[in-house]
Each structure stands twice: as structure tokens, then as C-alpha cells.
Amino acid sequence: MSRMVIAAGLAASAVLLLLGKDYLHASLAGSVGGRDCPAALIQEATARAARTFPNDNAEPVIRCMKGPALGLRVDYGASHFLPVLPTLILLGPKGQNTDVLAHELVHAEVRAKTGALVRSYGLPTWFDEGLGMQADERAPFQDLGDLAPSPGDFPELGEIGRPSTFFRAGRQSRLNYGFARCVVAGWLEAEGTDLDGFLKDQSLLGKFPTDRFEPHAAACRERLSQHS
């Protein structure tokens, strides 16, 4: 076996161990500190997520948390992914609503259509979060007028492609989510008629076609920076 194959195998094992530990922790916390969510909430959020993915086939496990459990604190929503096992969605006390659950259901659907590893490592974070935001109508992310940035205040897509650069605190967080929402909405409107096919084409080793989103990013920078 070549050294490269062994190195790739070791890297894959390390990633699985990392994801596995996180998934197991979340799964135990969901069992200890969670309960079934209200059926009406699941029904309404599923209908909302179906606007983005009419052909849904993810069957996530969903737990509504009363509070922190086993050291795990979820305020809004958090999804956990592991190959083979179903996506695990934990909803915190502030996240037991249609917006947050529909957002997480979209993440679960992306994972179902790409696989856990491609979703986590093959897609830019702004794209995955931008898709989630299509089902998430929370007001602060719809209108960024009060942030009043100039077009140059918005990030380059390449700067928000990883979780460590996308997930920020406060104002920057709202800006990133609102911007990602706008960019993905523009792309979906222009060429996203076969979203399932687009997702199936993405792979761990392939290059994500960020250039196809750049015109929409430019339009969003102009539009969102105008005072409303």
C-alpha cells in the first residue's frame, strides 16, 4: 500500500473519530436532557423546509432540549452528522420554533443528498448556511439595513468558506448569515432548478464552483448595503 493511501486512510479515520465523539456526546445529551418535540412544530417546519427541498428523504432524529445536558448547551439549534447514522438535531430553549427547525432540516437534507463527509468538508460553509437560511425567516437576517455597511464591508466568499471563519459573534454573525442567505437566494433563482443534481455533483476532492455565485455576491453587496 502506498504511503499516500495510508496517509489518506489515517486522515479519514481521524475525521471519523472526531465526528464520532461529537455525535456520541450530542446523542447522549439528547437522550438525557431532551424530549420529543411537539408534532405541530415538526409538521410546520417540514413543510417550510420542503420549499427548498421538495424531494426530501432525510429522516433526522430531533430532540427538544429543556436546557444544558452532560455539559452540552444548545441555545438555538445544532445538527450533528456521522456517516451511516441519521442526522441528529438538537433544539435548545430558544430554537423550538419553525424558523430554527426548518433551517436545521435543510442541513439534514443537504447531508442526505451529499453524505456526511462531503457536507462537512466539501461544501463551503456560506453555501450550506445560505441554503439553511432559505427556510429561516427570522427578521434580523432578512434586513441588514441597520448594519448599514458599504459594499466593501461584506466578506469575500472565500473568506467565509470554513466554519471557523463563518461562525462569528454578534454583528459579524448576522452579516455573514444575511449575506449567505442573499447570495444563495440569487443563485437559486437564477440557476438552482436542479438543486438535488447540483449537490450530487459535489465531492470531497472536486472544486466547489464558487465563481458561479460571485455575480450574486456582488449584487447582494450592493443591495444589502443600501439603507432601507
Q: Point out which residues bind Zn ion (CB under 5 A).
A: 129, 132
In the complex with Zn ion, which residue's Cβ is closer, 33 or 130?
A: 130
In the complex with Zn ion, which residue's Cβ is closer, 132 or 186?
A: 132
- Dump the DSSP string for 161-216: SSHHHH--SHHHHHHHHHHHHHHHHHHHHHHGGGHHHHHHH--SSSPP-GGGTHHH
In the complex with Zn ion, which residue's Cβ is closer, 109 or 129?
A: 129
Match 464520532 to its residue by C-alpha cell.
20
Angle, CA 226 vertex, CA 224 and CA 228 arms, to 5°: 95
Least spacing, CB of residue 189 vs Zn ion, in Å: 20
In the complex with Zn ion, which residue's Cβ is closer, 124 or 132?
A: 132
Least spacing, CB of residue 150 vs Zn ion, in Å: 27
Least spacing, CB of residue 51 vs Zn ion, in Å: 16
CA dihedral 224, 216, 102, 30 (to 10 degrees): -90
The identity of residue 37, as a single letter, is: C
| Residue 188 to residue 130: CA distance in whole angstroms | 10
Helices 214-224 and 170-191 sit at what angle, rounded to 10 degrees? 130
In the complex with Zn ion, which residue's Cβ is closer, 27 or 79?
A: 79
Least spacing, CB of residue 2 vs Zn ion, in Å: 38
- Name the residue among 39, 101, 84, 90 with its Cα closest to residue 67: 90
| Residue 209 to residue 198: CA distance in whole angstroms | 10
Least spacing, CB of residue 151 vs Zn ion, in Å: 25
Least spacing, CB of residue 101 vs Zn ion, in Å: 11
Which residue has the CB atom at the shortest distance from Zn ion?
132
In the complex with Zn ion, which residue's Cβ is closer, 14 or 121?
A: 121
Return the exposure string of 24-45: e unless at least 16 CB atoms fall within 10 Å of the residue's CB, then b.
Answer: eebbebbeebbeebeeebbeeb
Least spacing, CB of residue 86 vs Zn ion, in Å: 18
In the complex with Zn ion, which residue's Cβ is closer, 176 or 202?
A: 176
